[in-house]
Structure formats: structure tokens, C-alpha cells
């Protein structure tokens, strides 16, 4: 094995490895075009497709939750996310969440050029997934279609926002430490991230719904036209992602990631 280990040899959620220029690698023009597709276009399609499936499964688990407890949504979200990260992690990094993409970028795990396209793809995927739920469930059962409502879940919107920030911090820490930071990265990252989502929903579902994902909140809100305190599911996850970036960049990151105390 050569002196520098390629990222493609281990699981990564940070995005595809940067290819060698065609002139240095001896690739033909057609191969070069394929490389551009794999580097910029294919990852966005993976985020769109993966987010669609994740939101469909997540919303369906809420709409079809006959027990009215947190176990079914928690297990469904966690299992779906773990599987999707395993399948698409080597293509796009398997983010499926704008808060995750933001934290990964700020921790040095992806290009700035891909950040906005990823978020757009995730938002579109959220709407597509929520639309599929509405298409398969009868109106009498559909209700809010898995949309979040902080008012009915917490008497204090501030506490709901704080809960979203804490749970998203836990999730993005699992992502950045388990899949981006070279010192702590592990092939068990998809499993750990899925379990983190499951644990968060079990712990904080009654506080805020345990969204941790603006795309997961946005899609059902659009389809169901339900926007009550929707800002909670943007402010909370984004603040949680930024808190993760601060801790990783200052305390827990490897020598390349840390900004201080190198």
C-alpha cells in the first residue's frame, strides 16, 4: 500500500474523492467527462434519491404509527438512514440533511462548490418523499403527513429549539467524528449514525419531534401546507451543527482539522 491511504478504501460520508487530472492520469476525453459526472452530478442525484427514500420511510412511519409511540418512528428513521448511508456513502457521502452537509463542509469534509447543490437536492428530495407518502395513504389516515408541530409537542418553543440543537449536535458529532475526522473514522459509521437518530427520537420525540433535519421538516410542511413554528426545525439543527463544528475544530479533530493546539 502506498504512503497515502486513499479515501475510497474506507467508508466516508464526506463526499467523493477528488480525481486526478486527465493529463496526469492519462484518461481519455470520455473518461474525463465521466469523472466530472461522478464528482459533481452523481453525488447530487444520490442526495436527491436518498433523501426522497429517507423522508418517505420517515413520514410513513409517523402516518402509519398505530401504536402512537416513539418506537416505530425511531426504528424506521434509524434503520433507513443507516442503510442509505451504506449504499450511497461512497457516492455523495450520504448526508441527506442540510445540517449534516453544513457541518461536514465546515469540518473540511467536502467542497464548497457542492454545498448549495446538496442542500437543494435534499430539499427537493424532502418534498418528493413527502409527496409519495400523500400519494399512497388515504386522506383519512394521512393527517399532517409526518409534518412537525412544535406547539403540540412542547409548551415552550425555546425548549423545543434547544432540544433540536442538542440532538442535532449529537447526530452531526457522530457524522463528523465517525466518518470525516481521520483520527476517529470507522467503517461502523452508518450503523452509529443510524443508532444516533434512533436514540434521539426515543429521547426527544416528545419535546420537539426530534427532527434534526431541515429537509425532513420542509418536505412534509410543503405537502401538508403546515408551517406552525416551522423555523424551529431550521434554527435548532443549524445551531447544533455549528456547535459540532466548534468542538471538532477546537477540541476533537485530528491535526489537520484542529485550528488550535496543533
Q: What pLDDT does residue 94 have? A: 96
Dump pLDDT digits (tens) for 116-166.
999 999 999 999 999 999 999 999 999 999 999 876 665 689 999 999 999
Question: In the chain, where are the structural domains located?
Answer: 13-252
* Residue 2: Cβ within 10 Å count: 5
pLDDT confidence band for 69 (50 / 70 / 90): confident
Q: What pLDDT does residue 162 have? A: 95
- 4: cell is 497515502
214, 190 contact by CB (below 8 A): no
The CATH architecture to which 13-252 belongs is Up-down Bundle (1.20)
Task: Choose the weakest-confidence range: 8-17, 183-192, 247-256.
Answer: 8-17
Dump pLDDT digits (tens) for 193-216.
999 999 999 999 989 999 999 999
| Mean pLDDT score of the chain | 88
Amino acid at each position: 500500500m502506498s504512503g497515502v491511504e486513499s479515501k475510497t478504501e474506507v467508508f466516508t460520508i464526506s463526499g467523493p474523492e477528488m480525481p486526478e487530472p486527465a493529463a496526469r492520469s492519462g484518461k481519455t476525453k470520455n473518461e474525463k467527462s465521466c469523472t466530472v459526472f461522478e464528482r459533481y452530478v452523481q453525488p447530487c442525484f444520490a442526495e436527491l434519491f436518498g433523501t426522497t427514500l429517507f423522508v418517505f420511510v420517515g413520514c410513513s412511519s409517523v402516518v402509519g404509527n398505530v401504536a402512537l409511540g416513539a418506537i416505530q418512528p425511531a426504528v424506521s428513521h434509524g434503520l433507513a438512514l443507516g442503510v442509505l448511508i451504506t449504499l450511497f456513502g461512497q457516492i455523495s457521502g450520504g448526508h441527506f440533511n442540510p445540517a449534516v452537509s453544513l457541518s461536514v463542509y465546515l469540518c473540511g469534509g467536502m467542497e464548497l462548490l457542492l454545498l448549495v447543490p446538496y442542500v437543494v437536492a435534499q430539499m427537493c428530495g424532502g418534498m418528493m418523499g413527502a409527496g409519495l407518502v400523500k400519494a399512497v395513504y388515504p386522506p383519512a389516515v394521512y393527517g399532517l403527513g409526518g409534518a412537525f408541530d412544535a406547539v403540540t409537542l412542547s409548551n415552550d418553543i425555546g425548549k423545543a429549539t434547544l432540544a433540536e440543537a442538542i440532538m442535532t449536535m449529537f447526530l452531526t458529532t457522530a457524522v463528523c467524528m465517525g466518518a470525516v475526522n481521520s483520527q476517529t473514522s470507522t467503517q461502523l459509521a452508518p450503523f452509529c449514525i443510524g443508532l444516533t437518530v434512533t436514540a434521539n427520537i426515543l429521547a426527544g420525540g416528545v419535546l420537539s419531534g426530534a427532527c434534526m433535519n431541515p429537509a425532513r421538516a420542509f418536505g412534509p410542511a410543503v405537502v401538508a401546507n403546515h408551517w406552525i413554528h416551522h423555523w424551529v426545525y431550521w434554527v435548532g439543527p443549524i445551531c447544533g451543527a455549528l456547535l459540532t463544528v466548534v468542538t471538532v475544530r477546537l477540541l476533537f479533530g485530528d491535526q489537520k482539522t484542529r485550528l488550535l493546539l496543533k
